[in-house]
Amino acid sequence: MPTLRDIRKRLKAIQNTKKITAAMKMVAAAKLRKVQDRMLNFRPYAIKMDSVLSDLAKVAEREIHPLLALRPRKTVEVIVITSDRGLCGAFNINILRASANYINGLKKEGIEISLGTVGRKARDYFRRRNVPIRKSWAGLSGKLNYSDAQEIANDLMENYKNETTDEVIIIYNEFKSLILHKVSIMKLFPIGSIEPEEGQAKEPLISGDFLYEPSKEAIFETLLPKHIEIQIYRGLLESQAAEEAARMTAMENATKNCGELIDKVTLLANKVRQAGITKELMDIVGGVEALKL
């Protein structure tokens, strides 16, 4: 049975842990409010941009711009977005498991995989499994800027133009609520592909054409790179909001568990202390009785 000193040391350690988890919860809540506002304000713009560019691409001549090219699906670039740090519950493991399953499914179809990662958790996960990583980005958690999305977009667009990849997929956690985030798989290239995603109904072709001003070439030249940057930035914002929400929930649960553990250890300490007092009293009574003899 542990001594009272050992129990008090353990109790002190749990109390210190509770202070840390409570502080981390408040920090995550503050960060969440900031990134959630940015994400919710940006989401409608990104969705509308995707809708407009997809509609334009479906009726445009594919030869008009390199980013509109349609090629046989031989090499697929998969970008996995995770966090740089842990202590956020199942946030990272959910996205990593979904990514591994998706990649394995592509390999079974005989498709070559080119892997990119955003966040240290994804990079370390695939490195431990000896999965080749073409390029990785890290250190974006907590200090995300639009320039980061531009850097990733420029890299992906360059590879697509050079025909290094035939399709680009981004896998990230989409923010739904404080307690819910969903793994989302977004096809970045080819833009406006008519082929439906698995499980989705085939969309009807758009009839007619659009009026372009100043010209079709100028519009695609300006909007297509911007569209890629915006969709990547949206994925990064969604992932960061989901990360902070998951961390806040995890730290809240950890603080609650610490409180329950403190009660149990305190009860144990009281029992040990009471047992010690009882033993001392019995020793005193025994000594008094011995003196009477």
Residue type, 61: E
Neighbours of 227 (CB within 10 A): 23
3-state SS class at 213: coil
Stretch (H or E) spanning 115: strand 112-118
Q: Show me where the domains of the chain are located.
A: 4-21+254-292, 23-249
Per the residue annotation, which of 57, 88, 122, 153 is the catalytic one? 88
* CATH 3.40.1380.10 correct for 23-249: yes
For residue 88, indicate whether it is catalytic.
Answer: yes
In this prediction, residue 288 carries a pLDDT of: 75
Note whether 201 and 266 are within 8 A (CB): no
In this prediction, residue 193 carries a pLDDT of: 65
pTM as predicted: 0.83
- What is the maximum alpha-carbon separation in the chain? 116
In this prediction, residue 217 carries a pLDDT of: 80
In this prediction, residue 199 carries a pLDDT of: 43
Note whether 172 and 78 are within 8 A (CB): no
In this prediction, residue 195 carries a pLDDT of: 52
Mean pLDDT by 10 residues, the chain (293 residues): 83 92 91 89 90 81 83 90 89 92 91 92 92 90 86 92 90 88 89 54 50 78 90 92 92 92 90 82 78 71
